[in-house]
Amino acid sequence: MPEIIAEDHWTQRDGIKLSVYRKRLASAPADAPVFMLVHGSSFGGKNGFDLQVPGKPGYSFMDEFAQRGFDVWTFDFEGYGRSARTPGYSGFDTAVADTHAAMEVVTRVTGQSRVAFYGSSSGAIRAALYAEAKPDRVSRLILDAYVWTGWQAPTLIARRRNIAKWRDTNCRPINQAFFHTIFNRDHPGTSEEGVADALAAAELADGNTVPNGTYLDMCSILPVNDPAKITCPTLILRGEHDGIATEKDLLEFYSGLGTTDRQFAVLPGMAHVSYLGKNRAIFHHAVHSFLTAPSRTDTH
């Protein structure tokens, strides 16, 4: 197997130290296409996207796409992974600034200022916010496990029961049992045994809390995205069993996108964290096909 190399980088936003992480083939050309991965509410970028499951290869999203020729990057938002733990809530109000700080590293290192983005769950909302604010920096956008308004979303209905508790503190505790709920809440059996434990071990090595900001925001202020402001080619992915949003909610967002270069796909046999599910090969195929699609020829 070709050698994959990893690099740690660091940046700051308002004096807050943020971790940025890169993986690519050792033989990759200097101008390899850059692919930025944006994490969600419950675990950081490196730990989720570069997960190594003992005895079960093929769970690193970053390795998979490095092997396919991409220069793959991710980062940890404030309060996650190896980034600084602060009194901040790390909600949608700081998402664009954190993302832009990471992108400044990408541009400095690679020379590329416009790259493909993938976001998962609240990371999809944050990636979409960045695409709206910085359209010149996003060439293609993949929104996975996305939610727009939260209309009748089972997961958000359940979360709202705890909204008062989450407002009282900027972060919530996490433990091994919590990571099992991520994979079992929608449709048990869509992930393999050992994946939740591997993710818990990786994330808990960095800390035992995550910020409450995106949980609060997803329960109280949606929608925060304006689809008309997203003008780059866009792919929306939905796991068949994902309870974070209804298909109606997603299709209404899809129909309002400011581009006709758009795709919508339902991924069979998957729940919320598609890239860590049993059927992740289907997910990989959908993502790769979108990233490598031919550019359109303008018509009049």
Q: Is 74 a residue whose pLDDT tops 90?
A: yes
Percent residues over pLDDT 90 in the chain: 97
Query: Does the model's pTM come out above 0.75?
Result: yes
Q: What is the pLDDT of residues 6-26, one digit of tens each?
A: 999 999 999 999 999 999 999
> HSE of 104 in the Cβ direction (CA atoms, 13 Å)?
12
Fill in the DSSP letter of residue 53: B
Average pLDDT of the residues in 67-84: 98
The rounded distance, in Å, linking the Cα atoms of 242 and 266 is 10
Q: What is the pLDDT of residues 129-156, one digit of tens each?
A: 999 999 999 999 999 999 999 999 999 9
pLDDT for residue 298: 74
CA-to-CA separations, 52 to 179, 237, 284, in angstroms, rounded: 15, 24, 17
Please say whether the beta carbons of 22 and 170 come within 8 A. Answer: no
pLDDT for residue 295: 83
Average pLDDT of the residues in 44-53: 98
Q: What is the pLDDT of residues 237-291, one digit of tens each?
A: 999 999 999 999 999 999 999 999 999 999 999 999 999 999 999 999 999 999 9
Confidence of residue 299 (pLDDT cuts 50, 70, 90): low
pLDDT for residue 296: 79
